[in-house]
Amino acid sequence: MSVKLLKVAFFALPFLSAALLTWFTLSSLIFIWLNYAIWLTTVTGFLVFLQYFVVYLRSFRYSPRFIGGPTSLRIAVFVTSFNEDPKIIKETLLSAKAALRGRGDVYLLDDSTNQMIVEELKKFCEEHGIIYVHRKERRGFKAGAINNALKLFGDKYDLFVIFDADQKPRLDFLDQVLPYFEDPQVAFVQVPQRYTELRSPIAYGAKFQQEPFLRRIMRGRSLISAFSLGSGTVFRVKAVKEAGYFDENSITEDAEISVRIHSKGWKSVYHDEELIWYGEPPQDAAAYIQQQNRWAFGYFKLTPKIIRSDLSFAAFFDYIAGFLYWLKEGPLTFFEILAPIVFLLLKQPFIRMDPYLYALAYFPYMFISVTVFVLSMRGFEYGFKGFLAHQANEYLAFTGITAAFISFLLGRRIPFKVTPKGKSMRNLRVLVIHLVLLVLLLLSIVSGLYWYYTSSNPSEVAAIIINLFWAFWHLFFLSLAIYNGAKTPGEEKPTVFFEKLDYRVNR
């Protein structure tokens, strides 16, 4: 079997497995869609956990390099901006110039349409020896701005670095990253993006959601499939040109070009040092859901390219697990919440299976997977508090991810929007679906408890208990998500749910 055929078969595996399991456990034709969705959730969740366990084991091989490295490489620093606070951009530019220390040039790729911002930034750049680049047409958005700069100035440099407007590099940023480029096969180096402006429970949740990805997944993917995060990436100019520049039609151009670079046999390195000392996550529910919607849609759009790529199987598994993750955290989460509602409130069995067998097979696996996940984060700032905050944010995001998946299936385009920074507000409209599901879960629990006390069938009672467990599970995290999402972000550290668990982190 060829590698490409193997990759296609692997991608189809969860969908075909779920169909087969549906065939053997079908209880009602009316609810065949829910039966299939629950089995797809189960298989997908297992594959996502399996991939996490694989990269977790790989992460033990992670070894940062701190000394040595080429000193003659010419470097361009690209700071991208679009109508953002000039004060934030100026601080980033000065930080980038200090980190560069004469090894190249700093460019501000400013696509701002606000003329006052344009004039202020242009003057600032002239005063500080920074090259100001402004396009009148925003073709390709951020990717277009970078491509434009590379085509105009790329031949003068060996490497280029990308920083978002609010991502300030530390003084030793390049000193730690440059040694990796001694290996001519290294196409780019990525460093973690640290969230520091944590003014709301949503922001705290976003930080904890990033921790397993940055501390374990990206470490495990280093040298195999570590991908660009869009900011804090140092690229080799030659590799980007060979890959055909950034895709200007993708809203996740960073991951997209990473796939093409890896397909051509280049290596990438993840250097897990917090070399960027400022980062602002979404502070409110609306901004967070918008961010997750954009990230998920970009990855869904990227998936056909992943399937057609020339990636090694190890890299393919890493990348396709990203698709499975978004699928599970979006539409499949909706079906997971809906399942106990249908069973308890409508008294509609949709899976024909011995409930005792289900409990013996699934709950030990669930306990093991959660335990392994939490224990894998020992030594990092995560723990039980991080798990709760992480899960709450994922329950908040499922509506935006589901909308992204529907748009992907319908072939729609989502306009590029910068995640709002600085300003935040309470917008309860984005929580309407969450609130509706919360009410339905409460009603299903009441109905299920009454059913439990009036049923005399042992098998039926066991099924009721299992569905009550899931109803309470979803109710807990959905309530926490709504509670966090309904809070108004402030300027100071917030008092958040589970404060006794020391839910806070140091700024």
Q: Which amino acid is it at 203?
A: A
* Segment 74-90, tens digit of pLDDT: 999 999 999 999 999 99
498 domain-assigned? no
Statement to judge: residues 128 and 198 lie in one domain? yes
Statement to judge: residues 358 and 215 lie in one domain? no
Statement to judge: residues 270 and 348 lie in one domain? no
Specify the 3-state DSSP secondary structure of 99: helix
Statement to judge: residues 255 and 224 lie in one domain? yes
pLDDT for the residue numbered 420: 54
* Segment 349-378, tens digit of pLDDT: 999 999 999 999 999 999 999 999 989 999
Total domains present in the chain: 2
159 domain-assigned? yes
Give me the CATH number covering residue 99. Answer: 3.90.550.10
How does residue 492 score in pLDDT terms, banded at 50, 70 and 90?
very low
Tell me the sheet residues that pair with 236.
Answer: 159
Instruction: To the nearest 10°, report the CA torsion of 71, 73, 74, 76.
Output: -100
Statement to judge: residues 266 and 362 lie in one domain? no
Q: What span, in angstroms and rounded, lies between the C-alpha atoms of 336 and 470?
A: 8
398 domain-assigned? yes
Statement to judge: residues 142 and 261 lie in one domain? yes
Of 52-66, 205-219, 234-248, the range with the highest mean pLDDT is 234-248
Q: What span, in angstroms and rounded, lies between the C-alpha atoms of 125 and 147?
A: 21
* Segment 5-44, tens digit of pLDDT: 899 999 999 999 999 999 999 998 999 999 999 999 999 9
CA-CA distances (angstroms) from residue 333 to 37, 46, 374, 404?
10, 14, 20, 14
Statement to judge: residues 142 and 277 lie in one domain? yes
Q: What is the average per-residue pLDDT within 318-329?
A: 98
Tokens of 228: 């660009």
Statement to judge: residues 359 and 234 lie in one domain? no
Statement to judge: residues 45 and 96 lie in one domain? no
Specify the 3-state DSSP secondary structure of 160: strand
317 domain-assigned? no
Q: Could you list the residue range(s) of the whole structural domain that residue 357 is in?
A: 3-57+324-417+428-487
198 domain-assigned? yes
pTM score, whole prediction? 0.91
Q: What is the average per-residue pLDDT within 428-433?
A: 92
Instruction: To the nearest 10°, report the CA torsion of 228, 233, 239, 243.
Output: 40
Q: What is the average per-residue pLDDT within 377-400?
A: 92
How does residue 409 score in pLDDT terms, banded at 50, 70 and 90?
very high
How does residue 507 score in pLDDT terms, banded at 50, 70 and 90?
very low
For 430-474, give the DSSP string: GGHHHHHHHHHHHHHHHHHHHHHHH---HHHHHHHHHHHHHHHHH
pLDDT for the residue numbered 506: 34
* Segment 192-201, tens digit of pLDDT: 987 777 778 9
Look at residue 163 and tell me whether its pLDDT is greater than 70. yes
Statement to judge: residues 107 and 32 lie in one domain? no
Statement to judge: residues 350 and 274 lie in one domain? no
308 domain-assigned? no
44 domain-assigned? yes
| Residue 92: partners with Cβ closer than 8 Å, 6 or more residues away | 79, 163, 164, 165, 166, 167, 168
How does residue 307 score in pLDDT terms, banded at 50, 70 and 90?
very high
65 domain-assigned? no
CA-CA distances (angstroms) from residue 170 to 235, 241, 279?
18, 28, 12
Mean residue pLDDT of the chain comes to 91
Statement to judge: residues 150 and 268 lie in one domain? yes
Output DSSP code: residue 274.
-
Specify the 3-state DSSP secondary structure of 394: helix
